[in-house]
Chain A
Amino acid sequence: MKHLLIIALILWMSPAYAGTQKAYPTGASTLRTALSNAREGDTILVMPGEHSGSGYDITKRITIIGMKGAVVDGHSSGGTIFLVNADGVAFRTLTIRNVAVSYVDDHAAIKVLNRVGTDIDGCRIENGFFAIYLSKSANCRVANNTIIGAMRDESNSGNGIHAWTCRNILVTGNTITGHRDGIYFEFMRQGTVLNNHSEQNARYGLHFMFSDSCSYHNNVFASNGAGVAVMFSHVVEMIGNTFRNNWGPTSYGLLLKEIKEGHLKDNHFERNSIAIHAEGAGHFLIEGNTFIRNGYGLRILGGCEEITVVRNTFDGNTFDVTTNSRESFNTFSGNYWSSYEGYDLDHDGVGDVPHHPVRLYSQLVEQMPSSVILLHTAFITMLDLAERIIPTVTPDLLVDNKPLMKPRAQQQ
């Protein structure tokens, strides 16, 4: 019997079938045996049904393909489900669910340690504590995955796509909800984040720190607990992203903290309590963005310098720009302000009177938050008017000398 089995196995793995293994939920050829029998360059087909268990070690360069109806279920016990310990491993259309929660270890659906060339495409990860966890890895691609967390609170959940000390990672076309941070980068170099949807995560839709030379294009970050926070990074490019409905007393559309040399272009900020909160940011070009119906449009605190704000549209924000400083080392020019009250005699589309976007009242609210209750009162309007005529408190250097009369045509 034993011999027969071995012969069958040898036949099955004979050249005619070279490179392809099938893993069944039950029987002799389970996922675990398939993984240990696989040779370099093999493909494992995960057949329909529920494959239980966790701790699947991948030690060879293989491709794992989930067939329709195949699920790898960790049953919320054990540890990480797939641990990638080889270069060039690929996951395709695999469904993985129920990763154990731990307060000691970062368990994940797919965890990659110290490897290059991991490629995760079209997978579906449900209730992963961490879903995809890359550590000290390079040249990886995470694309077109659907990642749905369990909507636990901040301290009981992990990140959707987590990358720590990685290089050249491409994250594209993923949908991430219900995690702590949708996408989390720390010590990343050359990360590229394109066309992802990160919504309804407990903390940040996107969170990165110490991650230089990264770019973020055409993503949607919506309804996350605290919006998007990016900190302590250099050379950041964010183009064409949408920041929407990040609403709440401690929520931001985009929090820029200690960010140097960034380029924010053609992003769309709508209905965030604070669209951009900049603290210690510098050498930033903010151009062509739209700020619509936010509480605060741009909140630039004292430590920011050489931020250039040009050709943006500020429409219907309660406060377009606020600051806590009387000084301003930033440049504003050629923006459209819906609160602009000037005129354009020569009809060149540029207002003849400079616009001071910071109101006295916004300074007041910065210092005494409870005075927000006096918004839209005649008294405050009079105070603002008096301040506009003779500025005493608001920064007179924070001025747009070429305010547009009409918003630029929308890019999207």
Chain B
Amino acid sequence: MKTTALLLKYVVRDVMRSRWLALYLIFFAAVTEGLLYFTGGEAKTVVGLMNVVLLLIPLAAAVFGTLHVHHNRDFVELMLTQPVSRSAIYFALYLGVSLPFLIAFVVGIGVPAAIHGVVFNPPILTLLAAGSALTMVFFAIAYLIGVVVQDKAAAMGVAFISWLSFAVLYDGLILALTVIFADYPLEKATIAMVVLNPIDLARIIVMLTFDYAALMGYTGAVFQEFFGAATGIIISSSSLIVWTLLPVFIGRRAFGRKDW
């Protein structure tokens, strides 16, 4: 634990020096400020912001997470010669890259929102929470890919494809299934499909806080009921936790076995 903390400090310090991290923060700040400045309605702002968050966080995590593993190869090899457990190194690396990005995201959106006095509005708070969860999930997945796939270019490719699947293709699949099984009651099936994809889950949770105009009719009622009730909240947050912990521990195992 102590070694993890010590290593984490070094990794974080290293990541903090990255120009990409600063750019990431400035980008979110600029988008938030721009949306708050130019669009009147609050719902509109959050929809715009949500679209950016849902696309960009998984993409940034996939790219930077995977790259981080490969860029720190020398550091890892050096550390492994020391009497330090592999777990400590792995967790320090994973947290060391994900936490700065998490903080950059929260600060990037939080500061402009605070200036406009909307930071404690439920939609913004939910968006911050959902974005934070997505950061942890997709850095975990990216780290797993970075550790498992040896070649840097191949790892980038795999990371990009996984991002594309979660962010875009999965929704195409949902739509295709909806069309194919249009004659059947699909509400429970769609809830299951949504819960299984962290991006869709984050989207629905954020939307239910403000844009539930969207979710109407019978389907809307079913979703409202599910995500409004305790069971729905427990199931959806467990899904996000499992999506974080599962890749972290599989990645940790792979890291432990890996011959550097």
**A interface list, Cβ under 8 A from B:** 249, 271, 273, 293-296, 315-318, 338, 364, 367-382
- Is B172 among interface residues, defined by CB-CB distance under 8 A? yes
Q: A368-B179, A372-B220 are in contact. Are A318 and B167 (CB under 8 A)?
A: no
**Judging by beta carbons under 8 Å apart, are B171 and A372 in contact?**
no
**Judging by beta carbons under 8 Å apart, are B171 and A371 in contact?**
no
- Min CB distance B88 to A, Å, is 38
Closest 10 CB pairs of A and B: A379-B171, A295-B213, A377-B171, A370-B186, A370-B219, A375-B214, A318-B214, A369-B217, A318-B213, A371-B178
Q: Chain B residue with minimal CB distance to A374?
A: B171
**Beyond the given A293-B43, A372-B220, A379-B169, could you list 20 further A-B residue pairs with CB under 8 A, ordered by the A residue number?**
A294-B213, A295-B214, A296-B216, A318-B214, A364-B175, A367-B182, A368-B182, A370-B178, A370-B186, A370-B190, A372-B215, A372-B217, A373-B190, A375-B215, A376-B51, A377-B171, A377-B200, A379-B175, A380-B171, A380-B175
Query: A367 to B178, alpha carbons, bound, how many Å?
Result: 11
Q: Chain A residue with minimal CB distance to B221?
A: A249
- The proximity string for B residues 29-68 relative to A, scoring 1 for CB distances below 8 Å and 0 otherwise, is 0000000000001011001001100110000000000000
**Judging by beta carbons under 8 Å apart, are A369 and B219 in contact?**
yes
- Is B204 among interface residues, defined by CB-CB distance under 8 A? yes
Q: Chain A residue with minimal CB distance to B219?
A: A370
Query: A376 to B167, alpha carbons, bound, how many Å?
Result: 12
Which residues of the partner chain B approach A296 to less than 8 Å between Cβ atoms? Answer: 216
**Judging by beta carbons under 8 Å apart, are A318 and B171 in contact?**
no
Within 8 A of A (CB), among B207-225: 207, 211, 213-221, 223
- Is B252 among interface residues, defined by CB-CB distance under 8 A? no
Q: A316-B44, A318-B211, A377-B203 are in contact. Are A372 and B50 (CB under 8 A)?
A: no
**Judging by beta carbons under 8 Å apart, are A374 and B219 in contact?**
no
Per a CB cutoff under 8 Å, which of B172, B179, B186 touches A379? Answer: B172
**Judging by beta carbons under 8 Å apart, are B44 and A376 in contact?**
no
- Min CB distance A103 to B, Å, is 30
Q: How many residues of B contact A (CB 8 A)?
A: 37
**Judging by beta carbons under 8 Å apart, are B213 and A373 in contact?**
no
**Judging by beta carbons under 8 Å apart, are A368 and B213 in contact?**
no
Per a CB cutoff under 8 Å, which of B168, B216, B217, B221 touches A378? Answer: B168
Which residues of the partner chain B approach A377 to less than 8 Å between Cβ atoms? Answer: 168, 171, 200, 203
- Min CB distance A305 to B, Å, is 26
Which residues of the partner chain A approach B169 to less than 8 Å between Cβ atoms? Answer: 379
- A-B interface contact total, Cβ < 8 Å: 89
- Min CB distance A317 to B, Å, is 8
Q: A378-B54, A380-B171, A381-B51 are in contact. Are A372 and B214 (CB under 8 A)?
A: yes
Which residues of the partner chain A approach B171 to less than 8 Å between Cβ atoms? Answer: 374, 377-380
Query: A221 to B204, alpha carbons, bound, how many Å?
Result: 31
Which residues of the partner chain B approach A374 to less than 8 Å between Cβ atoms? Answer: 171, 174-175
Q: Chain A residue with minimal CB distance to B48?
A: A376
Which residues of the partner chain A approach B204 to less than 8 Å between Cβ atoms? Answer: 373
Query: A374 to B193, alpha carbons, bound, how many Å?
Result: 11
Which residues of the partner chain A approach B174 to less than 8 Å between Cβ atoms? Answer: 373-374
**Judging by beta carbons under 8 Å apart, are A369 and B54 in contact?**
no
Query: A296 to B215, alpha carbons, bound, how many Å?
Result: 11
- Min CB distance B203 to A, Å, is 6
A sample of 28 inter-chain contacts (CB < 8 A) reads A295-B213, A295-B214, A295-B216, A316-B44, A317-B213, A318-B214, A318-B216, A368-B178, A369-B218, A369-B219, A371-B179, A372-B214, A372-B216, A372-B220, A373-B174, A373-B194, A373-B219, A375-B211, A375-B214, A375-B215, A376-B51, A376-B203, A377-B171, A377-B200, A377-B203, A379-B169, A379-B171, A382-B168
Query: A370 to B178, alpha carbons, bound, how many Å?
Result: 7
Which residues of the partner chain A approach B41 to less than 8 Å between Cβ atoms? Answer: 293, 315-316, 338
**Judging by beta carbons under 8 Å apart, are B51 and A316 in contact?**
no
Which residues of the partner chain B approach A316 to less than 8 Å between Cβ atoms? Answer: 41, 43-44
- Min CB distance B141 to A, Å, is 18
- Min CB distance A57 to B, Å, is 49
Q: Chain B residue with minimal CB distance to A250?
A: B217
Which residues of the partner chain B approach A368 to less than 8 Å between Cβ atoms? Answer: 178-179, 182
Which residues of the partner chain A approach B211 to less than 8 Å between Cβ atoms? Answer: 318, 375-376
Q: Chain B residue with minimal CB distance to A338?
A: B44
Query: A318 to B211, alpha carbons, bound, how many Å?
Result: 8
- Min CB distance B189 to A, Å, is 9
Q: Chain A residue with minimal CB distance to B47?
A: A376
Q: Chain B residue with minimal CB distance to A271?
A: B213
Within 8 A of A (CB), among B87-141: none
**Judging by beta carbons under 8 Å apart, are B214 and A379 in contact?**
no
Q: Chain A residue with minimal CB distance to B42?
A: A316
**Judging by beta carbons under 8 Å apart, are B216 and A379 in contact?**
no
**Which of A295, A317, A373 has the most chain B CB within a 10 Å cutoff?**
A373
**Which of A364, A376, A380 has the most chain B CB within a 10 Å cutoff?**
A376
**Judging by beta carbons under 8 Å apart, are A273 and B213 in contact?**
yes
Which residues of the partner chain B approach A372 to less than 8 Å between Cβ atoms? Answer: 214-217, 219-220
Q: Chain A residue with minimal CB distance to B199?
A: A377
**Judging by beta carbons under 8 Å apart, are A379 and B168 in contact?**
yes
Query: A370 to B184, alpha carbons, bound, how many Å?
Result: 10
**Judging by beta carbons under 8 Å apart, are B213 and A378 in contact?**
no
